[in-house]
Amino acid sequence: MPVIGFIAESLIFLLVVAVSFLVLTLLASFLRFYFLAQRVKLADPSEQDPEERFRLQVVQSLGALHQKPAPFTLLLVSVRRLAEGTQGSEDDPDEGIPTAITDQLRTRLRDQDVVMTRSAAVIGVIGQFAGNGAARIVQRLLADPPTWPEGEGSSRTCVLQVGAAAFPEHADSAASLIAAADEALINAQSAKATPAWRFAASTLSPPPPAANANSPETPVPASPIVDPVTGALKAERLDAALRKMVAQQRRDGRPVSVVYCSINHYLHYQNHYPESVGLQVLKRVADVLGDETRESDIMARTGKADFVLILDCAPAAAVKVADRLHECIRQLPLVVEDQTVRLSVSAGVAGHPDHTGDAQQMKDFARTAMWTARARGTHGALLYNSAMVTHHTDDNEIKDTF
């Protein structure tokens, strides 16, 4: 009995020590985070080193040990202005980046994204979007660069080079995340083409350069990951992305939905108009799908006129998103041979936890719901139910059923 009592007392002592250590660790982490946050809030930007201020902001985004930080992406944007009187050369801003440049970049991002000067020639962005959503954001920045104010109402176009690193994909500490973004920026600056951007390491690949805004039918250069016409994820990359997102959402106890969209009457555009019209239809629809969804959502092209969206919301909410997308697409002003053409899509929705937790089955259910919507002549979205008949039509065979 004395031996048992000794063992019990020892276990209790060890338990008390372990709990005390855990409490002290959490307290220390909380206090560290609190004082860092206070330094960020109370510091006078004019008196604080921009590099240090930016580092503190990244630390604050990572949170404390007692918090689970949301995924975010760090962008380092190198800003140079085109040298006066030249077509391609650039000069470095000796006087530093004007506040107007930072303000212009801020208007191209969301309110919750942090935009601040990091050095004389680099702006830091802490974007509240996951790494897989960074492609669309950076493309938008590169396609619509800020202008450098010259005084007396004149300005010069800026050239941007961007290095990106995502938490938690590339790093889980402020120092390593900034270092990864710095390395990516160096790689972007060494690229022959400008503007350019690179992701840290090579775990995530940047999209091809954006097509000329004045030539919507011009396909972008080939990429092993991104569809050259629409900028969406390629079909062969979809299944892996879907499995990963479904597994992550289920692990976190969160819903996830698949929206399967198909452009109605696409064969008509393809067969009765020049090829450029079909390409323009695809690109215009893809632009709406990308612009009207969040950066954390995933978009892929799975057939001639089929798209799949993976949304981190319940199926009922995804139906509302799909209906909104259909309405936006229906209002697209598309003029073909002096006639205004109205586009529409049929969409099906399925997801977890309502229908299934299996990624492939979720996509199949959403596709079945899409075909049901099309067969019924429904312009918009239908939520999957088990009474729907499965369609076995190949994704690449787009039927004009109405």
One domain for residues 245 and 146: no
One domain for residues 131 and 258: no
- Over the stretch 239-248, which tens digit does the pLDDT of each residue have? 888 998 899 8
One domain for residues 241 and 373: yes
In a domain, residue 69? The reply is yes
pLDDT band per the 50, 70, 90 thresholds, residue 364: very high
Does position 400 have pLDDT exceeding 50, yes or no?
A: no
Poorest-pLDDT segment among 124-128, 209-213, 259-263, 344-348: 209-213
Residue where a domain stops, chosen among 199, 226, 254: 199
In a domain, residue 225? The reply is no
Does position 268 have pLDDT exceeding 70, yes or no?
A: yes
Whether 188 and 163 have beta carbons less than 8 Å apart is answered as yes
One domain for residues 243 and 171: no
Cβ-Cβ contacts under 8 Å for 227 (sequence gap 6 or more): 233, 234, 300, 301
Nearest-angstrom CA–CA distance, 200 and 31: 31
One domain for residues 56 and 142: yes
One domain for residues 59 and 123: yes
| pLDDT value of residue 357 | 92
| pLDDT value of residue 386 | 87
Could you give the 3-state DSSP secondary structure of residue 52?
helix
pLDDT band per the 50, 70, 90 thresholds, residue 224: low
One domain for residues 255 and 374: yes
In a domain, residue 104? The reply is yes
In a domain, residue 388? The reply is no
One domain for residues 82 and 154: yes
Does position 114 have pLDDT exceeding 70, yes or no?
A: yes
Whether 348 and 381 have beta carbons less than 8 Å apart is answered as yes
One domain for residues 195 and 54: yes
In a domain, residue 367? The reply is yes
Name the β-bridge partners of 116.
124
In a domain, residue 23? The reply is no
| pLDDT value of residue 111 | 78
If one compares 26 and 172, the residue with the highest pLDDT of the two is 172
Does position 203 have pLDDT exceeding 50, yes or no?
A: no
pLDDT band per the 50, 70, 90 thresholds, residue 15: confident
| pLDDT value of residue 219 | 41
In a domain, residue 336? The reply is yes
One domain for residues 193 and 250: no
In a domain, residue 34? The reply is no
pLDDT band per the 50, 70, 90 thresholds, residue 358: very high
| Residue 61: domain span | 50-199
Cβ-Cβ contacts under 8 Å for 61 (sequence gap 6 or more): 69, 72, 114, 126, 167
Alpha-carbon dihedral of residues 333, 337, 338, 339, nearest 10 degrees?
A: -60
One domain for residues 245 and 189: no
One domain for residues 245 and 302: yes
Residue where a domain stops, chosen among 176, 199, 222: 199
Give me the mean pLDDT over the 175-201 stretch.
82
In Å, how far are 116, 202, 362, 393 from 372, measured between CA atoms?
A: 49, 41, 15, 12
| pLDDT value of residue 305 | 92
Calculate the average pLDDT of the chain: 78
Both structure tokens of 77: 């944007």
Domain count, the chain: 2
Question: Other C-beta atoms within 10 Å of 277: how many?
Answer: 17
| pLDDT value of residue 217 | 39
| pLDDT value of residue 401 | 37
Q: How is residue 132 annotated by DSSP?
A: G
Query: What CATH number corresponds to the domain at position 171?
Result: 3.30.70.270
